[in-house]
Structure 1
Amino acid sequence: MRQFSPMTTKSDLYQRHRFPPEMMSYCIWLYNSFSLSYRDVEKMMLYRGIFVTDEAIRHWCRKFIPI
């Protein structure tokens, strides 16, 4: 697991990702707040016209949610 220093900024965390940080945060929030599956979140984003895979959402949740 990647360790973050106290001086890590938000822009550093989301660096080199295809999607904007706000959209990734929204997907993570949906997954955690409503006990949805990754595929449910994927469908919700597809209804909004954003194509993102459930695997990408899983990766974001593992990376950005502290253990």
Structure 2
Amino acid sequence: MTSRARVSAYRDRLRSEGLRPVQVWVPDVRSADFATEARRQSALVASAASHSDDMQFVEAISTTWDE
């Protein structure tokens, strides 16, 4: 059996189980641009006032892992 036939049979089995293929695009975390943007956003979060309205809202709706 060729690899093309195996893949086709595998996909047919998945479809018969009610599944469908979905293509998902995600950021390339190995990219230098990604690392630069992650550092930029992290610095913004770190320098934000911890008592801002946004943070108060997050704290109000958050629960701890123990609960």
TM-score, structure 1 as length reference: 0.25
Q: Which has the larger radius of gyration?
A: 2
